[in-house]
Amino acid sequence: MRKILIFGGTRYFGKKLVELLLQEGEHDVTIATRGNSPVIFSKRIKHLTLDRTNRADLLALTSQGDWDLVYDNICYSSDDAQIAVDAFEGRVGQYIMTSTLSVYEPVGRAVIEDDFNPYIYPIKKGASSDFTYSEGKRQAEAVLFQKAHFPVQAMRIPIVLGTDDYTKRLHFHVHRIQKGTSIGVPNLDARLSFISSNEAAEFLAWLGQGLVKGPVNAASEGSISVRQIVRTIEEATGRTAIIKGETGPENQSPFGVPADWLMDTSKAVRAGYRFTPLASWFPKLVQAITDGRA
């Protein structure tokens, strides 16, 4: 039985990860939260209340014992990562951080892991408020991969979608098309990678087997253009979208990227993981949102 700790396990794919681990029935699972969200799972788990960004809290946590595996879904800066390095050194067998496609600069093709190398990236101290989201994740990766002496992996994922998406990014498009509200899209032909919240959780669980090292891209098989997204929603809703090149910020598409934003997942595939085709779940999700089931 492995002793597993999860930061960010009360909602979205973090919560799904907890449920997957509980279903396996082979782990001693603990989640650590600030105590702001209800902790409701299908089975009893251990729950610690602490501040992930507080050095003293993490040092107190690790002083009580070791962990076989830590999942960190809420590491957003170099300071966050350094606290983890200091607290878990000699106390953890495997550390998995959730990262993002946003660590990459656009290169005109599907990005591979080597397009951002955290092992040599210059480190700048700072909290999440000192960086953009993308730079904060770069800094977090850099600290973990350069300074930790325990095994580290980073799951890099694109936009995550699901019925439980609290950011409502796909909902944004469905609801505006239903209402006849314009949507700002700079490039309808830009293609994007996505991953479902279910698969993000499944991939994290798979990473826990230690079959692949370092940073690794994870995304559903295939991609989709913004134009195809709009057409899928039009078919589901029976309404015609009003698309404009520029709108006010309140109507600007969260998928409104100027060029392709894609991930190459060959590294994970070579290690044995098989990603779910995007086409197998995306239209169903659009329909669920259209029908008010999500």
How many helices, marked H, and strands, marked E, lie in the chain? Answer: 9, 13
In this structure, the answer to whether residues 179 and 256 fall within a common structural domain is yes
- Is pLDDT of 250 > 90? no
Per the prediction, the chain carries an average pLDDT of 94
Domain boundary among 157, 179, 214: 157
Domain, as residue range, for 282: 165-193+223-260+277-290
- 114 located within any domain: yes
- Is pLDDT of 201 > 70? yes
To the nearest 5 percent, what fractions of the chain are helix, strand and coil? 35, 20, 45
10-63 tens-digit pLDDT:
778 989 999 999 888 778 999 998 877 777 776 778 888 999 999 999 999 998
In this structure, the answer to whether residues 255 and 116 fall within a common structural domain is no
Distance CA 227, CA 222 (A): 15
- 284 located within any domain: yes
Domain boundary among 104, 135, 157: 157
CATH number at residue 172: 3.90.25.10
Read off the DSSP letter of residue 245. Answer: S
In this structure, the answer to whether residues 23 and 79 fall within a common structural domain is yes
**DSSP-H helix ranges across 68-132:** 78-88
In this structure, the answer to whether residues 95 and 185 fall within a common structural domain is no
- 143 located within any domain: yes
Domain boundary among 110, 139, 157: 157
Distance CA 275, CA 33 (A): 30
In this structure, the answer to whether residues 117 and 243 fall within a common structural domain is no
60-104 tens-digit pLDDT:
999 889 999 999 999 999 999 999 999 999 999 999 999 999 999
The 8 Å CB, 24+ separation contacts for 127-135 are: 127/53, 127/77, 127/79, 127/80, 128/53, 128/76, 128/77, 128/79, 128/80, 130/77, 131/76, 131/77, 133/76, 133/100, 133/102, 134/100, 134/102, 134/103
- Is pLDDT of 239 > 90? yes
- 46 located within any domain: yes
If one counts the domains in the chain, the total is: 2
Instruction: Give the CB-side neighbour count of residue 29, counting CA atoms within 13 A.
Output: 28
In this structure, the answer to whether residues 181 and 92 fall within a common structural domain is no
In this structure, the answer to whether residues 18 and 54 fall within a common structural domain is yes
Q: Which percentage of the chain shows pLDDT scores above 70?
A: 100
- 281 located within any domain: yes
In this structure, the answer to whether residues 184 and 231 fall within a common structural domain is yes
In this structure, the answer to whether residues 51 and 84 fall within a common structural domain is yes
Q: What is the mean pLDDT of residues 244-262?
A: 89
Q: How much is the pLDDT for 42?
A: 67
- 214 located within any domain: no
Q: How confident is the model at residue 116 (pLDDT cuts 50, 70, 90)?
A: very high
Q: How confident is the model at residue 108 (pLDDT cuts 50, 70, 90)?
A: confident
Report the relative pairing of strands 2-7 and 69-72 from DSSP bridges: parallel
